[in-house]
């Protein structure tokens, strides 16, 4: 009887690897897509990546100067209210 089938994994193990970082701080061990530096999960697949025209940079208005000024005014009002309540406390 044969001890087992030996697989020829030389080409697979010598292929370039994905250079993306994992949450654990290591690099991804998946093989990179042909002609790319990333695997199919980290941006090597066709159609992956940011959309054209930088649509990811659209503003939602949370950090506009008007909103920031409104938040600062609300915080000042809360601070003043807190100071007044501490003065009234016996």
Bigger pLDDT: 62 or 32?
A: 32
**Count helices and strands in the chain by DSSP H and E runs:** 2, 0
Mean pLDDT of 43-59: 70
CA angle 36, 39, 40 (to 5 degrees): 105
What does the pLDDT read at residue 7? 82
Bigger pLDDT: 74 or 51?
A: 74
Q: What are the residue ranges spanned by the domains of the chain?
A: 15-48, 60-90
Q: What DSSP assignment string belongs to 8-50?
A: --HHHHHSPBP-PBPTTSSB--SBPPTTSSS-TTTT-STT-SS
Bigger pLDDT: 3 or 61?
A: 61
């Amino acid at each position: 009887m044969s001890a087992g089938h030996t697989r020829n994994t030389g080409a697979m193990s010598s292929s370039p690897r994905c250079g993306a970082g994992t949450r654990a701080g290591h690099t991804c061990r998946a093989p990179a897509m042909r002609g790319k530096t990333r695997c199919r999960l980290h941006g090597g697949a066709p159609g992956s990546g940011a959309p054209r025209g930088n649509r990811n940079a659209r503003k939602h208005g949370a950090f506009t100067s008007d909103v920031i000024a409104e938040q600062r005014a609300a915080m000042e009002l809360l601070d003043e209210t807190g100071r007044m309540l501490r003065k009234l406390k016996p």
